Amino acid sequence: MNDPHAPIPELDPVLDVARLQEIADLDLFAPEVSGILSELAKEASQKLDLPLGMVNIVLDEAQYIAAHHGVGGWIAEAQGTPVEWAFCRFAVRDRTDFVVEDAHVHERVKDNPLVTEDGLRCYAGIPLITSRGHALGSFCVAGTEARSFSEEEMQVLRTLAAEAVRRIEARRNAGA
């Protein structure tokens, strides 16, 4: 029998139905979304001198790459990864910046196939939080060499992430 005084297990924010509904309402799978966000991903990649820049949407079972610069191979073909592999899920769950300077030694990701098989080594992601308070995914950069991220670089990412959310919400406000 259930103990009425037992603590209620906390729902994983990735599985939050209202968050997933907002992703659906924003129609982030529409073909034009990549076009309006790709230049931001490219700008992040260039400004931080990293090969990968992405706008990733974290779903309940997958991570969808809404826009990118530098992503190739099977990940580009699939337009994403399983959610269990998504570094971006940590930015969504924690609703804060998620930084990995060296994935080989980072407890949360060191056994991740993106690290062990695909060579991902560093990552910095900013949660994409809408005006309605939902974290859609992450605006991020990544690379194959360990490195640290300065506060100035993180501020660049935060500014670009805010612009990505502004563009996403402008589509909603325009009735797209």
So what's the pLDDT on residue 14?
84
Domain that holds residue 143: 14-173
Distance of CA 164 to the CA centre of its chain: 12
What CATH number corresponds to the domain at position 58? 3.30.450.40
Looking at residue 66, what is its pLDDT? 96
* Residue 9 belongs to some domain of the structure: no
Residue 8 lies in a domain: no
Within-domain flag for 161: yes
Q: What is the per-residue DSSP string for 146-173?
A: -----HHHHHHHHHHHHHHHHHHHHHHH
User: Could you tell me if residue 3 is inside a domain?
Assistant: no
Query: With 70 as the cut, is the pLDDT of residue 18 above it?
Result: yes
Confidence of residue 7 (pLDDT cuts 50, 70, 90): low
Mean pLDDT of 72-89: 93
Beta bridge partners of 68: 54
Sequence-distant (≥ 6) Cβ neighbours of residue 118 within 8 angstroms: 73, 75
> Residue 1 has what pLDDT?
47
Q: What is the pLDDT of residues 89-147, one digit of tens each?
A: 999 999 999 999 999 999 999 999 999 999 999 999 999 999 999 999 999 999 999 99
Residue 78, amino acid: A
148 φψ region: left (φ > 0), alpha (ψ -120 to 50), beta (else)? beta
Residues 6+ apart with CB under 8 A from 88: 56, 58, 63, 98, 125, 137, 138, 140
Please tell me the total count of domains within the chain: 1
- Per-residue pLDDT, averaged over 149-166, amounts to 98
The reported pTM is: 0.90
Q: 5 in a domain, yes or no? A: no
Question: Which residue in this structure is represented by tokens 């670009």?
Answer: 160
Query: Is there a domain that residue 144 lies in?
Result: yes
pLDDT band at 9, cuts 50/70/90? low
Please check whether residue 7 lies inside any domain of the structure. Answer: no
Is 109 domain-assigned? yes
